[in-house]
Amino acid sequence: MILDQLVSTEADILCLQEVDSDTMTDFLQPQLSRSGYKGVFWPKARAKTMSEKDAKLVDGSATFYKIDKYILLEKQVVEMSNIAINRPDMKKEHDIFNRVMPRDNIGVVVFLENRMTGSRLIVANTHLHWDPVYADVKLIQTAILIEQINKMSERFTKTKACLDKGQGRYELPDENALPETESLQEPAPSMEYSSNTQVPFILCGDFNSTADSSVYELLSKGSIKPTHKELTEYSYGNFSKNGIMHPFQLYSAYSALDKTANKLAFTNCTPGFNGVIDHIWFSKNTLELGSVLGGVDSEYMKTVPGFPNHHFPSDHLLLVAEFAVKGRKEKKSHPEPDFGSSSRRRD
């Protein structure tokens, strides 16, 4: 049922959480490949410390993209806890070792190029810690993730152009080769970006955070003060001293419905919890939101105690958003006006 839901969207990009290695290898990758997808997957960090058998059961995040539309330029995993304990300003902080380090959540980041338009795109996919008691940990995880994406995106702007995007001419056929039956028009050249915030950016995931959380505030407003109630009680190095900032102009796709009758009531619905904790964020300076998939009919919800059930196969809703890349505003160059020779007589 989950597979049917995913395929039916015909989405160019799919971001999944709580995927274990066995499910990825034995089911999702082979099944979704039939619909033209390639996948990038990493399990949570603890998988590296376990036996091969046990590691297969560790969940992680998987990002799939349509191979006929996108070229994979780079893929990275962000292990928040490992980065935190190795930061010079956090090495001696007890809260890092006692609260952040035991939670091995990750983020999966891919850098894609549209084969036809040459436009490039950063897609990050994450699953933050679940426990409401650890709101500070979720904030630090988000801060580290967005900090790493900021660094990556600066490097991404220097990535060389793809000079050969046609059918069957790839050096890495397992990543980027097109089906032999695929025919393409002449693709546009790779776009160039003078700054990292010019690159279109989408951040998806199960943030386990509602709209009144510090995680939501950081992503939507771009900063968190060190006096925030979810940060002030703990010591997290420079984050606690200076606050947290990021340069991206992020907007939550589903917040577009907040002032309408179609406002999303929940993304996670169980007998014990009901709320919006999953989000699709996008850089509003580079992407334009076209539409989102609406929520579940309220009359239907009166007949069920929650999810999963025989209509909804997960305890989380499938969120879908459609975007268009905004046109680039180029600097206009005006020719110098010609007033003629200074010795010319003017009537």
Structural domain boundaries in the chain: 72-325
Q: Positive or negative, the Cα torsion across 319, 62, 132, 148?
A: negative
**Whose CA is closest to 109, among 52, 152, 48, 69?**
152
pLDDT for residue 166: 60
What pLDDT, in 10s, does the model give residues 64-96? 999 999 999 999 999 999 999 999 999 889 999
Nearest to 206 by CA among 1, 16, 11: 16
Active site residues: 206
The answer to whether the beta carbons of residues 37 and 14 sit under 8 Å apart is yes
Mean pLDDT, to the nearest integer, of 279-289? 98
The Cα 101–Cα 86 span in angstroms is: 10
Q: State both tokens at 71.
A: 């070229």
CA–CA dist 200, 326 (Å, integer): 9
93: helix, strand or coil: coil
Give the percent of the chain with pLDDT over 70.
89
For the chain, what is the mean pLDDT?
A: 91
Is it true that the peptide bond before 308 is cis, omega within 30 degrees of 0? Answer: yes
What pLDDT does residue 177 have? Answer: 60
Q: Which range is least confidently modeled, 52-61, 161-170, 271-280, 283-292?
A: 161-170
Given pLDDT bands bounded at 50, 70 and 90, which one contains residue 344?
very low
Locus of tokens 């990825």? 24
CATH of domain 72-325: 3.60.10.10
324/282 Cα distance (integer angstroms)? 11
Name the DSSP letter for residue 24: I
pLDDT of residue 164: 75
Comparing 247 with 336, which gets the higher pLDDT?
A: 247
Mean pLDDT along residues 119-142: 98
Q: Is the pLDDT of residue 13 over 80?
A: yes
